[in-house]
């Protein structure tokens, strides 16, 4: 499996925009909302988890795109 590495942004506003843009993909949107429903969390919590992942798990200043991160995190 090939991952898309992006530059890390330790910035809440950037994370919100990045995730919102990624969620324009219908499949990802459905999968994220299914996960949120299953674990009774809201979208802001998912965004917080992603921000935590990119700020604490970066590799040479880069980390997974939201979609790649989400599927790795979920599985």
Sign for the CA dihedral angle at 1, 13, 52, 8 comes to: positive
- Predicted pLDDT at 7: 62
What's the whole-model pTM score? 0.81
Residue 49 has pLDDT above 90, yes or no: yes
Cα–Cα distance for residue pair 34/24, rounded to 1 Å: 15
Angstrom distance (rounded) from CA 60 to CA 36: 30
Cα 41 from Cα 73, distance rounded (Å): 15
The contacts of residue 62 (CB under 8 Å, 6+ apart) are 5, 6, 7, 8
Over the stretch 31-41, which tens digit does the pLDDT of each residue have?
Answer: 999 999 999 99
Which residue in 12, 20, 34 sits closest to 67, CA to CA? 20
């Amino acid at each position: 499996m090939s991952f898309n590495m992006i530059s890390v942004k330790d910035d809440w506003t950037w994370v919100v925009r990045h995730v919102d843009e990624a969620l324009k993909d219908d499949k990802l949107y459905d999968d994220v909302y299914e996960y949120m429903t299953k674990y009774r969390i809201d979208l802001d919590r998912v965004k917080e988890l992603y921000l935590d992942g990119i700020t604490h798990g970066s590799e040479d200043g880069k980390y997974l795109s939201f979609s790649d991160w989400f599927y790795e995190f979920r599985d």
